[in-house]
Structure 1
């Protein structure tokens, strides 16, 4: 059987990427790399039959050194090792960077990679919470500015207000695969460790759903405070971002 990886346009891989997104059914961390032109696309062939696709981005935006998506049609997934070797060779990839819930590429990472580490924790929605904080009100940016005549300095769409002052802010980002969105928030330094972060996440989840999106989030693997906040706010761990170097082939 002959295998081939051919560089193509993004448009060429979209039918297969739709199947990948359906299979994943969760937020794709580097989805925007496709939309912003920060990746190269490859169709994968076995005996001239298209069996899937791969995508390569860079550790730096201008580079193309990292395989970050790898999908094969179910009928051909038993060929993963053989076609991935071709993709890695043709693309000259130096790194493999899956999210651990993308099982096929994660398997390839552990087969073809070395110096593997986790760099971020991924979260998805888990449960409804009913947190509250006395004298603290969750408001939209517009409501806060019209009520108090003050600007929200960081531009976030939502704030926590206490006594007319902003003590926390956050929003959700939409440059991910639909219907998912990415939550972010920050609590003012003098108001931390009071449950405000988890309350803010809880309320951001609500407005995210009302906007027709499913909330997700991430944090650095070493940020224990953020992890605890996201879990308390009703999210759960769904995976990790992994990174490894492609093993160098030994020359004879």
Structure 2
């Protein structure tokens, strides 16, 4: 059996990426890395058959290529996972793995091949619909100039006062939309965050998108607001340092 790891472009492995996304029914946080050219991709070839692919990007700087963030092998070839992964990490020269824990294949490799594992963010998926109502609160489209075509921005108003801003990022894998928000400091801990999240979820579904979200693992206020607004925890973003061979 001959295993070859060949650097390629994302168009050449797009059908494999479609299989990866189909198999994993969640918002893939790193999807935009391919859209914006922030990643290098590699094909895995066994005896002239393309069996999978991997991708690397920069953990701290986008121009670096020190971190494996995507790794997929067609199911019938997964018995060769360890052989392929060993050759892949040698070929790309990565020193870290960064992944979502709801990505079962890569997260299992992270726990096996890395040390100093650190959780950076909590991932959320929609779980149930809420029906909060706060008198005189309204969500409006943000009419200020926005040069990002993937950003649908909104403002939350209490009468004529803007109390929060937020929106939906659409540069994630379909059908997902990433929800973000920020409540002005003077208006925090009044339920405005959860109300805005509720309304942003409704806007996402109107666009035929599925809302998803994430927050820093230490941001207990955002975590609480997301859970209150009907999200549930579906995973974490974790990073580990690849253990060097003795």
Same fold (TM over 0.5): yes
Stretches of 4+ aligned residues off by more than 3 angstroms: none
TM-score under structure 2 length normalisation: 0.94
CA-to-aligned-CA distance 1:42-99 (integer Å, 9 cap, x gap): 1112222211110111111111111100001010112111100010000001000111
Alpha-carbon separation, structure 1, partners of 2:113 and 2:3: 18
- Aligned partner of 1:44 in structure 2 is 44
1:156–1:171 CA contact under 8 A, matched in 2: yes
Secondary structure of the equivalent of 1:226? Answer: helix
Task: Tell whether 2:236 aligns with 1:240.
Answer: yes
TM-score, normalized by length of structure 1? 0.92
Asked whether 1:172 is paired with 2:168, we answer yes
Task: State the Cα RMSD in Å.
Answer: 1.6
Indicate conservation of the 8 Å contact 2:152/2:169, yes or no. Answer: no
2:10 corresponds to: 10
In structure 2, the gaps of 5 or more residues are none
Residue-pair matches, total:
241
Give the aligned partner of residue 183 of structure 2. Answer: 187
In 1: Cα distance, 2:82 partner to 2:93 partner: 16
Alignment of 1:1-252 (within 5 A): 1-59=1-59, 60-142=61-143, 157-250=153-246
Structure 1 alignment gaps of length 5 or more:
143-150
Q: Is the 8 A contact 1:156 1:169 kept in 2?
A: no
Larger-Rg structure = 1
Give the C-alpha shift of residue 158 in structure 1: 1.7
Q: Does structure 2 conserve the Cα–Cα contact (< 8 Å) formed by 1:138 and 1:200?
A: yes
Change (3 A) 1:6 1:89: same
